[in-house]
Structure 1
Amino acid sequence: MRFKLITVFVMLLSYIGMAQETKTISGTVSDSTDVPLPGAQLKVQGKEIFTVTDFDGNFTLEDVEEGDVFRITFLGFQPKEVTVGTENEYNVVLQEEAASLNEVVVIGYGEAESRDLAGTISNLKAEEINDSPTTSALQAAQGKLPGVQVINNGSPGSVGNVRIRGAISVLGGADPLYVVDGVITQDISGIANSDIESFDVLKDASSTAIYGARGANGVVLITTKSGKGKMKVSLSSTTGINTLVNGVDMANAQEYAQYTNEALTRTGNDPAFTVSEISGLQTTDWMDEITREGLFQNYNLSVSGSKEDIDYYVSANYMDEEGILQDNDYERLTVRLNNTYHLSENIRFGHNVSLVRQRGFNPSFSNFTNAYKQAPHIPVRGEDGNYRTTNLNNVGNPVANIDNNQNVNEQVRILGNAWGEVDIFDWLSFRSSIGVNVLREKSRNYGARYIVGNESGTQILNQNQVLNVRDYDEERFNWDNFLTFDKKFGKHDVNLTLGLTSERLASEAFEGSRRGVPPSDNLLYLGIGEQEGQTIDHVGDRSTRLAYFSRLLYNFDKRYVFNATIRREGSSKFAESERIRYYPSFGVAWNIDNEAFFANQNFLSNLKVRGSYGLVGNDRIDSGLFLQLIDFSAYPFPNGVAIGGSSIQQYDENLTWETTTELDLGIEFGMLDNRLTGEFTYYDKETEDILFPLSLPQTSGDDSFVTNAGSIENKGIEFALNWSDASESGDFSYNVGFNITKNENELTNINPVVENAIPFIDSGDLGNGQIVTRTVEGNELGTFWLYKADGVFTSQSEIDNSAQPGARVGDFRYVDTNGDGSITQTDRQYMGSYQPDFYYGINLGVTYKQVDFSTSLFGNVGNKVFNGLRAQRFSGENIDADLFGERYTGGDSGNGGPAAFNAVPLPSDYYLEDGDFLRVNNITVGYNFSDDILESIQLSRLRVYATAQNALTFTKYSGFNPELPRGILDSGLELDAYPTTAKFLLGLNIDF
């Protein structure tokens, strides 16, 4: 008994000796510049002890013991682990993310460290966007993200077309899904660059599957700024000019007259000009007459910080841009209010709201084409002051077209959300968010006030002026509710998200037109016009989506990563039997640098291999295509009138989703202490059940029939490499980045499920009865479909022995592909597309003390463009100087251009050119004033800079601009396109 008592006593003494007292510690969390970080999360590993820093960055952790490890995380900063020692106060400094392999990135319904993800996500840092003198962040992203192709048309207010890993749909669009602070939208033109905190692009199915039917084209996540720390006032200003670059040398008045005479006499007509008239002609530079140097202005003011229990960010942005086309103006005002309210350490709610007002004056871009084609011997106005044109062509006077027509578009948009978040436990949180995207748009088109006469100078008031008015309203709502479980069990990190989301769209458009509205800005109303011949149209759309989703992010010992997502989605755009679809995905990754065997080397800093596979969908079609539409009419009979109905369109009641499956394999690495980082990715994605508008025979009564009729494949590789380094003193630093993407696109299958349906789509209309692209099985979307021109005929005997017996000497000699002795559409050939073999970007930045320099370049290789400016001929149009110089004028050589002609040419490869280009997208030189000067004028930052945007383009293309965004099926056609525009700007950044 005594022995047992002694044993128990010894054990109690031993326990008391080993036990440690718990204590309370406190401190602050700040960045490298001593700015407090409110909202930073602190978790004690292995225990349910959790807190969040207050608005001054202060924190308190209770019941901790010496030896405990607490981890601090904050978006945009490197996580940090701190071991509790004998002291009770800890002031922790977090460093901003420098290496992409360690970044915290925004993902769907949350955020995560990139090392814990198996998917492919590219991001742009805030500083690369905030000071960019572009209308949208997309333009700032040109050439900087592998797998992301941004094609910009250069006009004021334009956002540009975005293709993430190629086009995967015909009807479902190619633009990605945009999510701004959790709010779904299809237009980010109103988001001010200076308001953006992070810009993340989800590219593979593992990353986008959580968005289900919305993620097939990729997802762009934009997070706007929030307040933190002491009050900060920021002011930025950018001003400069837009100017036309890469002009085209046109034939002058004498060359045009000579060309016109040759064209007329070849067909047996009298020449239009005498020799004496030609020598006295004066040349009008029509492009110079319709263009200008436009003023660009962009101003931004923001106030941010934390006060008591409120984090606030308020900003106002004003942009005013004059395009290079006369009267082409764009104006935008954006006001933003982002607030977070801390009810307690565990409960927060807030809102992120922006109000955007935009107004654009948009003369038709066809004026660029008209300026190219109009006869150069005609003056803009005669001596009497009236506009002039000519009887030699039907082009019209582009200056008069701009002056006499009006096209105004006004938009007001409210985009934002209200959200609430509660930390139920330190490892479990719940968030609810209601997103609102409301658009009110009005557009007015009026023309033309006058009928412009010919050389005689006749000009009369147009009595048939037409006013077109369109009012469009759109409302989008999305309600997201999700739980997030985030806990560490020893070496196991588990993050589980479960959620429910619903979305509703309601849109309505009213359009009307009337003739005879008086030419006065005060009288441009439909009610003043003539009722006879008026048109009225009223359309709308209603659709809803409901989805349940879950996502697991798991890693073991920071080495082995497993991600899985599943989303169950329903859409009202399909019949009830086809309404529900499941979109699963999974991915694995191995962080090799955390293995024990990796520790004995110094060359590789990071090494990660990853792979993923998943499904996403697409339902971006008009509602009700699966419904039978009936036209009810009255039919007279001897005994009275009967009402009967008949089908007005063929329909597919089994219409269903497009489904994209994607395999993604990649490797990410860092070398030499992450001074050199890079990634290589291979992807293969196939879209099945594509929604295809099958053309029907005329006997069917319908033009087309939308059904699931084929598949599209995109596969390719992405490679990115970045080097950054700095001197030991910190006075000098530099970075160099390069990325390249290869994508192969193919319409792999078309199934004409309707009898006699036509299994292709023709597009690329030249407006002269000719088309230039055909989308057909076995080729890329929007493949150029052209005749092969094999020089020109040089003798009548050559014509007599050809498939073109009606040709003249000097005409194009086309290849009789099928050998049937005649030139028909069956002789056309497929000749590539606008989709490049490669697209790439190069980025360079250098900082020396207070001076910084940066430049970015991007380009395409292997794509084709069609010069529609040359090919769209009728009769009597002008030609460019090169075409004039290479025309056939006689002799035995037929390898140049055709002889002068006045006819509609067949669309041939003569007008098809290589679209390769390298563009210097941005050159910026800046100066940051030193701390001594800033202190003396009581500023925290003062920077001045100069920027040149799109200043240089290296290309062999003969037109104005090789960057030619249009639709999915007709990109690469230069016709009514905006020429290359350069910006030369001065800027100022001030922080108080």
Structure 2
Amino acid sequence: MKFKLITVFVMLLSYIGMAQETKTISGTVSDSTAVPLPGAQLKVQGKEIFTVTDFDGNYTLEGVEEGDIFKVTFLGFQPKEITVGSSNEYNITLQEEAAALSEVVVIGYGKAESRDLAGTISNLKGEEINDSPTTSALQAAQGKLAGVQVINDGSPGSVGNVRIRGSISVLGGADPLYVVDGVITQDISGIANSDIESFDVLKDASSTAIYGARGANGVVLITTKSGKGKMNISLSTKTGINTLVNGVDMANAQEYARYTNEALVRGGNDPAFSEAEIGNLKTTNWMDEITRDGFFQNYNLSVSGSKDDIDYFVSTNYMDEEGILKNNKYERLTVRLNNTYHLDENLRIGHNLSLARERGFAPSTSAYAIDGVPYGAFTSAYKQAPFLSVRNAQGNYQTTNLNNVGNPIAEIENNQSVNEQVRILGNVWGELDVVDWLSFRSSLGVNVLRQKIRSYGASYNVENESGVQINNQNQQLTVRDVDEERFNWDNFLTFDKKFGKHDINLTLGLTAERFSSEFLQGSRRGVPPSDNLLYLNVGEQEGQKVENSGDKSTRLAYFSRLLYNFDKRYVFNATIRREGSSKFAESQRIKYYPSFGVAWNIDNENFFSNQNFISNLKVRGSYGLVGNDRINSGLFLQLIDFSAYPFPSGVAIGGSSIQQYDENLKWETTKELDLGVEFGLIQGKLRGEVTYYKKTTEDILFPLALPQTSGDDNFVTNAGSIENKGIEFGLNWSDESESGDFSYNIGFNITKNENELTKINPVVANATPFIDSGDLQNGKIVTRTVEGNQLGTFWLYKTDGIFESQEEIGNSAQPAASVGDFRYVDTNGDGTISQADRQYMGSYQPDFYYGINLGFTYKQVDFSTSLFGNVGNKVFNGLRAQRFSGENIDADLFAERNVVPTEASAGPRAFNEVPLPSDYYLEDGDFLRVNNITLGYNFSDKIVEYINLSRLRIYAVAQNPLTFTKYSGFNPELPRGVLDSGLELNAYPTTGKFLLGLNIDF
């Protein structure tokens, strides 16, 4: 009996041993053209054995047994199941899905194929951004995306303004919402271009409604890189110069002297210069004195890969950029750590963390103007008399009695603003595959900013022609500290399953957000100009100022989204978000944002299968609501000022209102209709898209100007509507030779947008239903935002030539004019020229804007260029119009001036008075700019392998080398606020970059 039991036991052990015999298999995963697929997933069914392919498509599965089945999946390809047999090597080819040409794009809280979406999403791949010599990805996207207008001033560290389908708010800002790896931020200057994997722009309400009160201005989703495959070490460098590329020809010393004499004599004064003096004058080019060729350098090092169930990406980037303005500089150091930890087959945790330290230096013409544009030295250089030298024979700064313009070199050398900030941006997350078709993700995002701005104006003297020393400043120090913290916690379930011909993707989620900020600013005079003494406890206590403010708000939202398609033909998308914000009164705190969209992939219909000219064709439409709550908290609250009031019987404490308020203040709401057609022709070589949209923003937050007797300047309330409607068109052609040695691409996009403030409802008695802006800093303004016109419309006097005789003046509405003065149009016919005669004359918003992108590769050589431009926008030359007395003029204005009263001329006679803001200074802002030219060379595989590298590329870049425009100023690209863009005053001139770059991969 024992013998039988032992025999059975031994046989059982033998069987178990045989059953547990395992082995290791390996191979490659590629597509139908033998191109490796990195990042493809392989999972053994019923076992916790999985892996992903490396950069070359290679994989290894350990611990498998014969008879096991493993599944291979890769987004955009049909999954494939393989049964393990006796072989140890399995090379797998995946076939593309029917929608193989469909791009995978990032959407709110997930990813999807573009053919499964009914909304409008534009995207750029990382390689289109990574090598761009710009501070931010926004500048790299300039001119490449229909419906996305990027306006950049060219100064070091600037990010640029972005307008997606026009401006939809007066107070709520115009910039889109930025979401970096799921974390909300308002500033992406700390994101290195080389770290970006994809750049997706959600433009219509169907796409942005999942972000609710944040989506009205559009949403920019930035996904940074992650590790996959074998270890890769990448090093890139870019070095070169910044230089002024668009100058303005100014009047020389002799021309200035003659113009000044003419203006003085015309005003009844003696001339300032004799003919003998004029002949001996030497010219100082003040713009040459304050500018330079600035050095630019950018270095990036990254390590990425997958090993032992960890995907890792680590990078560091350093940028150092000198501006064309002397003492203007920007530095940035960023460190990024993106890791994913595969705890088992169904559970992953990870983090996407970045730390950015930025430091900017800008000469400031006033230590008081810490918030202002710190580039007034450009305006001073434009206006200062050219007969002056920077310093006189005694070495003192020079100025002149003929004007009140500062010495721009003295301004630069004695005023400095330093902006230092540290930002931590990132998240930690966990993701669980509950079953194959259901996953849960939780993410905690953090966005923390610590900023310090220190602005100092040293005391200095300038000396006029009479030898009089003029003291310009009193050693003013202004210090500002800003602390901001934003936390968002996202939790959502994703159901993704196919039932026969039905594909269903359902997302349900909850997001909570908390934001707090504090601002503290102080200033003192009499602080000595020593780096170790620039503190507020040093200096005069008299006249010191301290300001403190802040903001706190919270949000809570529930959201759901359905992506459904039937048989890859009929698509239905729906989203709803319920959002609450503490920025509004309790009665107005909750808002719902629904959207829906439908699409028809016509090319998947049976009746379409008998032709091969059209490779894909989709029609789509969507409608939805999104919101905007970008205002300070507490505008719905009554603020009271408590003060002591003396009475005969004693002192009494009383309160008075210091803020008119609307207790029913509510969200701005944008309703958007979006209709489009997407198509591909000739095997997908030609791809295009046409979209019509109409956005109506209701309940806009409008600051109604109040009478002086109200005790407050304005009253913020929901008082009107704004409409934006337009058409976007994009077309791209790409092809390659049969040998694969030559490929090329051509892209074109154009956008037409019409903007109008359609209604203003002055709900407060005697409130003024318009906003004036565009301050020339000489007592004049140039824009007015009013019902029936665009935001920031130029509001100017219309000129009708110049007066050529006294008789002409006597018969006009300007009896005090002189021969040679502008003749203004008496619009209302009341016999006088007043503000009632001003006319609306267009705005900075263009009729349409466009981009052109070209590129080719031939063997190891690659070339690309991009261009963009505006048509139909207006710009106001504030440099010309901001006159007081004795300033310099540009050479064209000198040539256009009227000299003899009977001479026909485009311009007025020489004058010294402050001019009325008129259409004479308003110009067409049309321009075409060559944004980028890149020429590169990739060394052959043989050379690269010989020196133990995997990639080696050198390239040269020219950014903004050419601008074609008729505008007479420095730069027709003039970003400012929503209400005053297009005014050139204290603006940064067009800057070109010329660089050499190197890419090395190990």
- Shorter-chain TM-score tier: over 0.9
1:341: how far off? 0.7
Equivalences for residues 22-421 of structure 1 within 5 A: 30=29, 37-38=38-39, 40=41, 53=52, 57-58=59-60, 72-74=73-75, 78-82=76-80, 90-92=90-92, 102-363=102-363, 364-421=374-431
1:559 to 547, 551, 569: 569
1:639: how far off? 4.0
For residue 758 of structure 1, what is the aligned residue in structure 2?
A: 768
Q: Distance in 1 between matches of 2:752 and 2:539?
A: 55
CA gap 1:609/1:428 in 2 versus in 1, 3 angstroms: same
CA gap 1:24/1:218 in 2 versus in 1, 3 angstroms: farther
Q: Distance in 1 between matches of 2:96 and 2:476?
A: 58
For residue 806 of structure 2, what is the aligned residue in structure 1?
A: 796
Q: Distance in 2 between matches of 1:102 and 1:62?
A: 35
2:787 to 772, 777, 781: 777
Equivalences for residues 582-731 of structure 1 within 5 A: 582-731=592-741
SS of structure 2 residue aligned to 1:714: strand
For residue 854 of structure 1, what is the aligned residue in structure 2?
A: 864
CA gap 1:93/1:148 in 2 versus in 1, 3 angstroms: farther
1:946: how far off? 0.5
Please list the CA deviations of residues 909-943 of structure 1 after superposition, one character each: whole Å capped at 9, or x if unmatched.
00000000000000010000000001100110000
Q: Distance in 1 between matches of 2:574 and 2:474?
A: 63
For residue 473 of structure 1, what is the aligned residue in structure 2?
A: 483
SS of structure 2 residue aligned to 1:526: coil
Q: Distance in 1 between matches of 2:437 and 2:59?
A: 21
Please list the CA deviations of residues 773-830 of structure 1 after superposition, one character each: whole Å capped at 9, or x if unmatched.
0000000000000000111000000000000000000000000000000000010000
Greater mean deviation of Cα atoms: 33-42 or 458-467: 33-42
Cα pair 2:39 2:74 within 8 Å, conserved: no
Q: Partner letter of residue 52 of structure 2?
A: T
| % identical equivalent positions | 78
CA gap 1:434/1:86 in 2 versus in 1, 3 angstroms: closer
Q: Partner letter of residue 342 of structure 1?
A: H
Q: Partner letter of residue 388 of structure 1?
A: Q
SS of structure 2 residue aligned to 1:367: helix
Q: Partner letter of residue 683 of structure 1?
A: Y
Q: Distance in 2 between matches of 1:403 and 1:267?
A: 36
Q: Distance in 2 between matches of 1:86 and 1:447?
A: 77
Q: Distance in 2 between matches of 1:330 and 1:586?
A: 45
Q: Distance in 1 between matches of 2:547 and 2:184?
A: 28
1:57: how far off? 4.3
Q: Distance in 2 between matches of 1:841 and 1:96?
A: 32
For residue 371 of structure 2, what is the aligned residue in structure 1?
A: none
CA gap 1:26/1:664 in 2 versus in 1, 3 angstroms: farther
Please list the CA deviations of residues 386-434 of structure 1 after superposition, one character each: whole Å capped at 9, or x if unmatched.
1101111111100000001111000001001000111010100000000
Please list the CA deviations of residues 541-567 of structure 1 after superposition, one character each: whole Å capped at 9, or x if unmatched.
000110000000000011110000000
CA gap 1:455/1:631 in 2 versus in 1, 3 angstroms: same
SS of structure 2 residue aligned to 1:934: helix
For residue 9 of structure 1, what is the aligned residue in structure 2?
A: none
1:640: how far off? 3.5
1:27: how far off? 6.0
Q: Partner letter of residue 284 of structure 1?
A: T
1:635: how far off? 2.4
Q: Partner letter of residue 815 of structure 1?
A: V
Please list the CA deviations of residues 614-662 of structure 1 after superposition, one character each: whole Å capped at 9, or x if unmatched.
0000000010000000111122334443222111111000000000000
CA gap 1:837/1:531 in 2 versus in 1, 3 angstroms: same
For residue 15 of structure 1, what is the aligned residue in structure 2?
A: none
1:187: how far off? 0.2
SS of structure 2 residue aligned to 1:757: coil
1:698: how far off? 1.1
Q: Distance in 2 between matches of 1:37 and 1:580?
A: 45
Q: Distance in 2 between matches of 1:963 and 1:938?
A: 46
SS of structure 2 residue aligned to 1:79: coil
Q: Partner letter of residue 611 of structure 1?
A: G
1:50: how far off? 11
Cα pair 2:556 2:579 within 8 Å, conserved: yes
Q: Distance in 1 between matches of 2:774 and 2:376?
A: 15
Considering only aligned residues, what root-mean-square deviation do their CA atoms show, in Å?
2.4
CA gap 1:93/1:951 in 2 versus in 1, 3 angstroms: farther
Cα pair 1:151 1:963 within 8 Å, conserved: yes
Aligned residue-pair number: 964
1:892: how far off? 3.0
Q: Does 1:946 align with 2:945?
A: no
1:309: how far off? 1.4
For residue 579 of structure 1, what is the aligned residue in structure 2?
A: 589
Q: Distance in 1 between matches of 2:27 and 2:693?
A: 44
Cα pair 2:70 2:83 within 8 Å, conserved: no
Q: Distance in 2 between matches of 1:114 and 1:712?
A: 30
SS of structure 2 residue aligned to 1:259: helix
Cα pair 1:294 1:321 within 8 Å, conserved: yes
Q: Partner letter of residue 78 of structure 2?
A: K
SS of structure 1 residue aligned to 2:660: coil
Q: Distance in 2 between matches of 1:94 and 1:951?
A: 45
Q: Partner letter of residue 858 of structure 2?
A: Y
Greater mean deviation of Cα atoms: 129-138 or 890-899: 890-899
Q: Distance in 2 between matches of 1:575 and 1:935?
A: 66
Cα pair 1:143 1:149 within 8 Å, conserved: yes
CA gap 1:61/1:166 in 2 versus in 1, 3 angstroms: farther
Q: Does 1:839 align with 2:838?
A: no
Q: Distance in 2 between matches of 1:849 and 1:322?
A: 36
For residue 17 of structure 1, what is the aligned residue in structure 2?
A: none
Q: Structure 1: state its 5+ residue gaps.
A: 1-22
Q: Partner letter of residue 360 of structure 1?
A: G
1:201: how far off? 0.2
Q: Distance in 2 between matches of 1:176 and 1:825?
A: 36
SS of structure 1 residue aligned to 2:949: coil
CA gap 1:41/1:829 in 2 versus in 1, 3 angstroms: farther
1:81: how far off? 3.9
Greater mean deviation of Cα atoms: 494-503 or 457-466: 457-466
CA gap 1:267/1:455 in 2 versus in 1, 3 angstroms: same
1:453 to 447, 454, 463: 463
**TM-score using structure 2 length:** 0.93
For residue 4 of structure 1, what is the aligned residue in structure 2?
A: none
1:455: how far off? 2.5
SS of structure 1 residue aligned to 2:389: coil
Q: Partner letter of residue 73 of structure 2?
A: I
Q: Distance in 2 between matches of 1:484 and 1:531?
A: 61
Q: Partner letter of residue 338 of structure 1?
A: N
Cα pair 1:290 1:325 within 8 Å, conserved: yes
For residue 876 of structure 2, what is the aligned residue in structure 1?
A: 866
SS of structure 2 residue aligned to 1:834: coil
Q: Distance in 2 between matches of 1:704 and 1:441?
A: 30
Cα pair 2:78 2:97 within 8 Å, conserved: no
Q: Does 1:513 align with 2:523?
A: yes
1:243: how far off? 0.3
CA gap 1:840/1:41 in 2 versus in 1, 3 angstroms: farther
Q: Does 1:818 align with 2:828?
A: yes
Q: Distance in 2 between matches of 1:407 and 1:974?
A: 22
1:30: how far off? 4.6
SS of structure 2 residue aligned to 1:392: coil
Greater mean deviation of Cα atoms: 449-458 or 29-38: 29-38
Q: Distance in 2 between matches of 1:83 and 1:598?
A: 31
